[in-house]
Amino acid sequence: MANDLLINLVCLNYIAQAAINKANSDTQITKSILLSALQQSFQHLRDDFFKVINNMMKFKTISIADSESLIKEAKPMILDCRDMKDYKAGHLDDALHVHEGLKESLVKRGDKQRSLLIYCYYGHASEHLAQFFSDFGFKDVYSLEGGYSGWKEKHQEA
């Protein structure tokens, strides 16, 4: 569906350019009506395209403040995808270190209705893992914005 929207957007752009180039300078009213209609069409296609893209990214990025509320209220499974050395040096309370065996076990037998909160060092690698679990049918998957570094920095300030 996203490909179809993108193709339509590109085609509409070519049609618009051709129509504008054909319009005579003495038909300014026709040109402005055409431009207005094209702008509206572009806006609708653009909105539809971004809706599709957002639906493809099934996980949510969550701020540290919002993750604290999530932890208190929803009691998600917390997954740390940093290396073992850094996990042992410090991690969020109740966080599990992610390894291949855990990933496989969760995909095969995990509670896909339970929320997952995933973090890494700075919040980038956790997005890939969050997408992975979302693709396997987990409903509420969150990637921690700023990762463990952001979490640690916020809690040292407090």
Could you give the residue numbers annotated as active site?
120
143 three-state secondary structure: strand
**CA angle at residue 24 from 23 to 30, to 5 degrees?**
60
Token pair 């999530």 is found at: 70
CB distance 2 to 51 below 8 Å: no
Tokens of 155: 């809690």
Q: Kindly give, in sequence order, each residue whose CB lies less than 8 Å from that of residue 46, ignoring residues fewer than 6 positions away.
A: 9
DSSP code for 90: -
Q: Where are the beta strands (DSSP E) in the chain?
A: 60-62, 77-80, 96-97, 116-119, 141-144
